[in-house]
């Protein structure tokens, strides 16, 4: 449930409600708005009678939350969450670009990409050090060496870094380098990993599982949020359907739906959705038009030589064209790039 305080409620009245929540064995989450403070009651509050809060000084009303995701809900946090990443605000009027290779392959490949992306206005560099692959015989990433190269790219270009952790024990290692820890589609419901990234406190990019509903995505985010880590960004990257012409089916409707139900920023990954570089730019345009807060694009200087996902990776010149086309769409919907 949420306890909505009256406009102008005194600090001691707000604290009184928080104390009552704690006395009952629950956890209080405060969302302080310009006019009102909303106090979320975290836990199974079903046995609690609303009147014990409704009658307290400063309380305007008490509302039960029927949705299973609470901290991710706009009922708890009506305002959009803005996640600061190394000087860039994710979730505000600016559409944030994340780009880079699927996997870190060697220093030359990564540095060539990073410097070029920096010139094009990219804010965050992506690159996989640990790679979850369908086949055990596919390239699995460079591991710790990949993290070292990402750290070097960050030091030389100033780009923020997002890279994936695949297991709880990898989280501390990844956090030493990454500004954002990615939880990939295959690990969206790896609950031990979700607990670990929640406890780490770093910003998290949470990708939707290929067969997950939007509610399941929000419940996965709830695991991270429940640890007090509210810097969570969601990513729609295509779901598995009966269609075979694309790698996955991009659920563009996820953008407005998620934006209505949650305060968390929403990214779109058109690269994994299509599996084909030719369709990445049209879907990137559509994502921004639909209201996405950011894009994550796979870019490689030589896609024909890529060790992972070359078919869906844009060459640097093609990515430059994407940036200009997306910029025009962003301006049309009153956003910036």
Task: Spell out the domain ranges in the chain.
Answer: 2-63, 83-332
CB 214 within 8 A of CB 252: no
Distance CA 204, CA 193 (A): 11
Tell me, yes or no, if the two domains 2-63 and 83-332 fold the same way: no
Which architecture does CATH list for 83-332? Answer: Alpha-Beta Barrel (3.20)
pLDDT value at position 106?
Answer: 94
pTM: 0.89
pLDDT value at position 81?
Answer: 96
Would you give per-residue pLDDT tens digits along the chain (337 residues)? Answer: 889 999 989 999 999 999 999 998 888 888 887 788 989 888 777 678 888 899 999 999 998 877 889 899 998 888 899 999 998 999 999 999 999 999 999 999 999 999 999 999 999 999 999 977 777 877 777 899 999 999 999 999 999 999 999 999 999 999 999 999 999 999 999 999 999 999 999 999 999 999 999 999 999 999 999 999 999 999 999 999 999 999 999 999 999 999 999 999 999 999 999 999 999 999 999 999 999 999 999 999 999 999 988 999 999 999 999 999 999 999 999 999 9
Distance CA 177, CA 15 (A): 38
pLDDT value at position 250?
Answer: 97
Q: Which residue has the tokens 């969206």?
A: 188
For residue 284, give the H/E element and its range: helix 280-290
CATH class, range 2-63: alpha beta
Q: What is the CA radius of gyration of the chain?
A: 21
pLDDT value at position 258?
Answer: 98
Can you give the three-state secondary structure of 89-127, one letter per residue?
EECCCECEEEEECCECCCHHHHHHHHHHHHHCCCCEEEC
């Amino acid at each position: 449930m949420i306890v909505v305080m009256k406009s102008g409620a005194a600090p001691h009245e707000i604290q009184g409600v928080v104390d009552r929540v704690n006395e009952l064995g629950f956890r209080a989450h405060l969302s302080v708005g310009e006019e009102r403070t909303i106090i979320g009651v975290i836990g199974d509050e079903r046995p609690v009678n609303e009147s014990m809060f409704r009658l307290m000084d400063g309380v305007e009303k008490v509302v039960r939350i029927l949705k299973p995701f609470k901290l991710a809900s706009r009922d708890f946090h009506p305002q959009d969450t803005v996640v600061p990443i190394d000087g860039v605000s994710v979730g505000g009027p600016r559409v944030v670009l994340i780009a880079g290779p699927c996997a870190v392959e060697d220093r030359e490949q990564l540095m060539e990409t990073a410097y070029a992306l920096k010139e094009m206005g990219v804010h965050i560099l992506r690159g996989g050090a640990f790679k979850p692959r369908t086949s055990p015989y596919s390239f699995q990433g460079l591991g710790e060496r990949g993290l070292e190269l990402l750290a070097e790219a960050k030091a030389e270009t100033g780009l923020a870094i997002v890279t994936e952790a695949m297991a709880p024990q990898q989280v501390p290692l990844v956090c030493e380098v990454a500004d954002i820890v990615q939880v990939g589609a295959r690990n969206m419901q790896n609950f031990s990993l979700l607990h670990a990234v929640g406890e780490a406190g770093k910003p998290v990019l949470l990708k939707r599982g290929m067969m997950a509903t939007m509610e399941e995505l929000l419940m996965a985010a709830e695991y991270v949020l429940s640890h007090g880590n509210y810097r969570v960004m969601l990513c729609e990257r295509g779901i598995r359907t009966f269609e075979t012409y694309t790698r996955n089916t991009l659920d563009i409707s996820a953008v407005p739906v998620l934006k209505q139900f949650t305060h968390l920023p929403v990214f779109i990954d058109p690269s994994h959705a299509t599996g084909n570089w030719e369709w990445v730019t049209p879907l990137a345009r559509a994502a921004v038009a639909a209201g996405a807060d950011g894009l994550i694009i796979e870019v490689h200087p030589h896609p024909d030589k890529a060790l992972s996902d070359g078919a869906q990776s844009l060459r640097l010149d093609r990515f430059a064209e994407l940036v200009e086309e997306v910029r025009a769409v962003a301006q049309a919907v009153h956003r910036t790039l």
